């Protein structure tokens, strides 16, 4: 599974990495794993959206080893 992090999440995680741990069963499980890995990022992860293979998904969406997962925190533009 490939994990992409954007915006402020790049302060806590690499922008792009291969997930080498066992694949979480769902987006929610991945969110919790990331929160355990970096507790300082937990508030931002709680309000982030996840996209699997470029499609926004809900927390109960299952994950597969071949997925590309993007973690999208809220951001504002100007």
pLDDT along the chain (78 residues), means of 10: 96 95 96 97 97 97 97 80
Q: CA angle 39-8-56, nearest 5°?
A: 90
According to the model, what pLDDT value does residue 23 have? 95
Task: Provide the whole-model pTM.
Answer: 0.92
According to the model, what pLDDT value does residue 75 have? 80
| 27 CB neighbour count, 10 Å cutoff | 22
Task: Tell me the fold of 2-72.
Answer: Ubiquitin-like (UB roll) (3.10.20)
């Amino acid at each position: 599974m490939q994990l992409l992090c954007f915006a402020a999440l790049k302060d806590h995680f690499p922008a792009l990495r291969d997930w080498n741990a066992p694949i979480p069963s769902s987006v929610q499980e991945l969110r919790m794993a990331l929160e355990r890995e970096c507790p300082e990022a937990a508030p931002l992860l709680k309000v982030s959206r996840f996209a699997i293979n470029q499609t926004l998904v809900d927390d109960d969406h299952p994950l597969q080893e071949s997925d590309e997962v993007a973690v999208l925190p809220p951001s504002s533009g100007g």
